[in-house]
Chain A
Amino acid sequence: SQQGEEDPQALSIQEGENATMNCSYKTSINNLQWYRQNSGRGLVHLILIRSNEREKHSGRLRVTLDTSKKSSSLLITASRAADTASYFCATHNTDKLIFGTGTRLQVFP
């Protein structure tokens, strides 16, 4: 399968803590994207990092990309209860956007 793998599968933290989730993939990529999905709803695009970039920031989000290790990480700083959701990485290669298995994040107030 070309599907990316994310770990951990589930993560529970307290409000104010940081959350880190990791994504590993198998093929070369044009870019890597992170999406958030609240339960039973559509996905929301969070951030896109291109294959020639190593780090990108957007608000409380920090994404890193290591193409030599075929891996990426998403850091959410100062988490809030509203950050509770599933987070998916998605790797873009030519004509495919393959979503990873996802990390379910629970942030307790």
Chain B
Amino acid sequence: DTEVTQTPKHLVMGMTNKKSLKCEQHMGHRAMYWYKQKAKKPPELMFVYSYEKLSINESVPSRFSPECPNSSLLNLHLHALQPEDSALYLCASSQDGALLLEKLFFGSGTQLSVL
């Protein structure tokens, strides 16, 4: 299994809603990432987990809350988002938890719309 699976594929939420994005990989990778990508722009790093511990937080607003319950699963909890948070949210993983940011495997993303 060489896939990173993200659910849901599409999500529409209001500004008062609470929702979660889910990401799963079964490649035994020990680093997992959340990226945000606006239309026609490059992906921007949000969070990095290494060996299930948060190792990088790119000064992301607290309305985004990541969670790594185990080595295969990564969640992104969303609360009180703003319309400008609408974007494609990409999860990725890489093999070595100590050697970060090399050869990332990406999921297909969750297209989020905040109304």
A32: shortest Cβ distance to chain B, in Å?
11
Whether B100 contacts A42 by the Cβ 8 Å rule is no
Residue from the list A3, A42, A96, A102 in contact with B107, Cβ < 8 A: A42
* A to B contact number (C-beta, < 8 Å): 51
Q: Quick one: which of B6, B42, B48, B108 has the most chain A CB within 10 A? A: B42
Residues of B within 8 A of A97 (CB): 45, 101, 104
Partner of A3, one of B42, B92, B103: B42
A56 to B92, CA, bound (A): 24
**Does the CB pair B4–A42 fall under 8 Å?**
yes
Q: Is the pair A33, B42 in contact by a Cβ cutoff of 8 Å?
A: no
Which residues of chain A come closer than 8 Å to B42, judged between CB atoms?
3, 88, 99-102
At the interface, is chain A mostly helix, strand, loop or mixed? strand
Residue of B nearest to A88 (CB): B42
A64-109 contacts to B, CB under 8 A, are 88, 92, 95-97, 99-102
- Across the interface, name the chain A residue whose C-beta is closest to B56: A95
Q: Let me know if B43 is at the binding interface, CB within 8 A.
A: yes
Which residues of chain A are near B109, meaning CB under 8 Å? 40-42
Q: Mark A14-53, 1 if CB is under 8 A from B, else 0.
A: 0000000000000000010101000011111100100000
Q: Nearest 10 CB-CB pairs, A to B? A: A42-B106, A99-B42, A97-B101, A43-B106, A42-B108, A45-B103, A42-B107, A92-B101, A41-B108, A99-B43
28 residue pairs of the A-B complex, CB under 8 angstroms, read A3-B42, A33-B102, A33-B103, A35-B104, A40-B88, A40-B111, A41-B108, A41-B109, A42-B4, A42-B92, A42-B108, A42-B109, A43-B104, A43-B106, A44-B106, A45-B105, A48-B102, A92-B101, A92-B102, A95-B56, A95-B100, A95-B101, A97-B101, A97-B104, A99-B42, A99-B44, A101-B41, A102-B42
